[in-house]
Structure 1
């Protein structure tokens, strides 16, 4: 039976909100500490590298989205421009990596709201609640995402103000120990860039919603550009405030760095506000992630890369309800059985491979479809490879194993249906 199409109901503002919910999500509350461990005072250099690679990827994604305004993002672009295998590997990497990220975001919500004994049940409730919102339609998702983004940006403004007001003792102490911008060498800085790239990957969510955006060839590139620009400003301001108030050693050792920033300024009243903001941000990221993974799963199921039942679209709410329910159930199982709060590296591996395919696909586009120089896409592809190689070894090993599992699954299913 033919399935109804997804509804084109999102405008520019809603698309930007969904992208920002994913980009300015829980990552900003969690990623700076491991990045500082890798790069020390070279953190801001790592952020600059991550920003450039993300900019190149965003350009390629926007250019491709204008040409292929369907669900699936880089899965669709890779399949159309490079072939079935590159498209499949991009989609598989995205679905598996971001499903793990969903579980990590749910655990982040629970970590900020509940004592350890209650964290897994609270995380399960968070997943089910967010999935229920997503299942009510993409416009409902966009409205909730807008409210979350506004609240999180307000909390981050408090953090930046506290960082400016805080004494510079942390930074001075770091300087006294002899840490310079390159003290951790380039490998550490590149590793921090790979981890920080995790924070910028949210604009993929805009591309995966291509089938639900009005005037997609115009709206999607604009939404990606606006969301990316806002995220860069936010991450630069928060990163500078954190490094300046805590110093490289204090930031690297912090469990809740943005809470420590406001406390370093003596703003004890802001500590619970920041903790609540982190939980809300994680909910926003989870909301956008489940929506994005569901749309990519839908696109792959339509092409028989996944079981066809996952391609079903709800007749009333016009969402891929079976795919979203399946994603939510997998996330619930992961949350209930595995500790995935250290999933940033694995998620970065999957997303970097996803964008490698997007950049390679953009390189093949003719001049008439290009919005950015071909060289920018080439630099984006090289940047993705460099950052993948610099990730923690365990992230690379697990990522390669996941790719092998996906390739084996596709080969077996092709042989069965041959």
Structure 2
């Protein structure tokens, strides 16, 4: 082989990811990032806002997020690249839009893990108060970063064990709730989680829609599955029989299936647990609305009163461990996004370096940024509120550009063959309307931070363009 050919192969290998993930691994990463019991922390707020129709809120939210999942499934088959929405907007809308989509998604991928790490630190501090919560938070970052640097398969295996634990705890809760309901009956009416408890007047669709704008945040993270598309291969004997030829064809389809399955399963879990706990909730939605301080612990309080303190503590410990591994999945996704943008020279090229098929430089960069944000928040009394208020705006903006890229690729550029107006126009347009509506309903702080982050991204994009088109320096005489 020529020296030139060897150099070209080495360069390619420096920017290639190892293909070692299967369908189960993808689902594990998606569910870890979402967390099977994600509604625990927001149940009280949703119950108060929706007038008690909290299970209906999650039914509507699942349908709403299905539009986004469908658009992801469309684009991952077209652009099987690690950059996810960054890569999709790049081909569907142009390079500038792709950069904006990736830049806004980074806000989500870097801050959601910080929130999860902080949640884990707070929970561990409650169990061992002698150790400061910022120390627990930093320790969670170090442990999960080590797993991510060890390898994507190792992290997936550890994540599977944690996910199994979370599912078992959820099943224990469901079984315990059913036993209590069978013995004592519901505190509220059987239909109240779907129709409201009636303590704030008649059923109001506007109240449900208002709560949906908060509930969709429980689903943020399932989209991270798409960032692993370049690491999906065929397992076992089938892979050995086929060699390497079938891996690239199978990866996008597996990712598409994992996206849709993960969202559907999360929706079922969210609806089931909120329906059951709403039946056991002794505090009316009107009283929760009048006492915002009780909303954060409403789920735990209902479990404590109806079942017992033992289940309250079990759920709390499960959430503490699960939060750290949700951050693991988020950190891995952030690393893949940084890797993809570095490979396309939209961010420093060093981020595209791989070591044994892993984007370790990008992972370390994501870990450092997340560590700084998480520890900063852990040392402040209002740190959690400040982080939570802004994590959604980046993802929702990226989702909007995702829907636009489906229309751009299939309907405008007609690069995907025959146009299906239902799949390529109606569904993504409705999805974009939903995400824009949620952005409008977001907090003022989130909108301001999102605008500032977007402005910083546009300045970065402009600076790179000016540097690229700058005339060469005059030769020194």
Describe how 1:12-161 pairs up with structure 2 within 5 A.
12-24=23-35, 27-115=38-126, 118-161=132-175
In structure 2, how many angstroms separate the alpha carbons of the residues matched to 1:168 and 1:103? 40
Q: Deviations over 1:196-223 (max 9, x none)?
A: 1122122211101111112213211111
Q: Is the 8 A contact 2:68 2:403 kept in 1?
A: yes
Find the counterpart in structure 1 of residue 241 from structure 2.
none
SS in 1 for 2:81: coil
Aligned: 1:310 with 2:351: yes
Q: Deviations over 1:322-354 (max 9, x none)?
A: 111111111111122235423334222211111
Which of 264, 267, 270 is 1:229 aligned to?
264
In structure 2, how many angstroms separate the alpha carbons of the residues matched to 1:333 and 1:25? 27
Find the counterpart in structure 1 of residue 475 from structure 2.
none
Tell me the CA shift for residue 168 of structure 1.
Answer: 6.8
Q: Is the 8 A contact 2:58 2:267 kept in 1?
A: no
In structure 2, how many angstroms separate the alpha carbons of the residues matched to 1:223 and 1:108? 27
User: Which segment is superposed worse, 195-204 or 167-176?
Assistant: 167-176
Which of 332, 337, 345 is 2:376 aligned to?
337
- Judged with a 3 Å threshold, the aligned counterparts in structure 2 of structure 1 residues 345 and 37 are, in CA distance, closer, same or farther, namely farther
In structure 2, how many angstroms separate the alpha carbons of the residues matched to 1:92 and 1:44? 34
Q: Is the 8 A contact 2:227 2:333 kept in 1?
A: yes
- Judged with a 3 Å threshold, the aligned counterparts in structure 2 of structure 1 residues 370 and 150 are, in CA distance, closer, same or farther, namely farther
Tell me the CA shift for residue 306 of structure 1.
Answer: 1.2
Tell me the CA shift for residue 264 of structure 1.
Answer: 2.2
TM-score (norm 2): 0.80
Find the counterpart in structure 2 of residue 274 from structure 1.
315
Q: Deviations over 1:379-418 (max 9, x none)?
A: 1111111111112222222212211121112212322333
Aligned: 1:203 with 2:225: no
In structure 2, how many angstroms separate the alpha carbons of the residues matched to 1:157 and 1:257? 19
Structure 1 unpaired stretches of 5+: none
Q: Deviations over 1:33-57 (max 9, x none)?
A: 3333433324334323321221010
- Judged with a 3 Å threshold, the aligned counterparts in structure 2 of structure 1 residues 153 and 189 are, in CA distance, closer, same or farther, namely same
Find the counterpart in structure 1 of residue 242 from structure 2.
none
Cα RMSD, aligned residues only: 2.4
In structure 2, how many angstroms separate the alpha carbons of the residues matched to 1:401 and 1:193? 26
Find the counterpart in structure 2 of residue 190 from structure 1.
209
In structure 2, how many angstroms separate the alpha carbons of the residues matched to 1:240 and 1:368? 43
Q: Deviations over 1:94-143 (max 9, x none)?
A: 11122111111001111111146611110011011111101111111211
Find the counterpart in structure 1 of residue 326 from structure 2.
285
Find the counterpart in structure 1 of residue 457 from structure 2.
406
Tell me the CA shift for residue 261 of structure 1.
Answer: 3.0
Tell me the CA shift for residue 372 of structure 1.
Answer: 6.8
Structure 2 unpaired stretches of 5+: 1-9, 234-249, 411-415, 470-477
Find the counterpart in structure 1 of residue 273 from structure 2.
238
In structure 1, how many angstroms separate the alpha carbons of the residues matched to 2:438 and 2:417? 28
Tell me the CA shift for residue 191 of structure 1.
Answer: 3.8
Q: Is the 8 A contact 1:170 1:250 kept in 2?
A: no
Which of 163, 175, 200 is 1:178 aligned to?
200
TM-score (norm 1): 0.91
> Which of 1 and 2 has greater Rg?
2
Tell me the CA shift for residue 369 of structure 1.
Answer: 8.2
Aligned: 1:361 with 2:405: yes
In structure 2, how many angstroms separate the alpha carbons of the residues matched to 1:408 and 1:271? 48
Q: Is the 8 A contact 2:177 2:307 kept in 1?
A: no
In structure 1, how many angstroms separate the alpha carbons of the residues matched to 2:150 and 2:347? 23
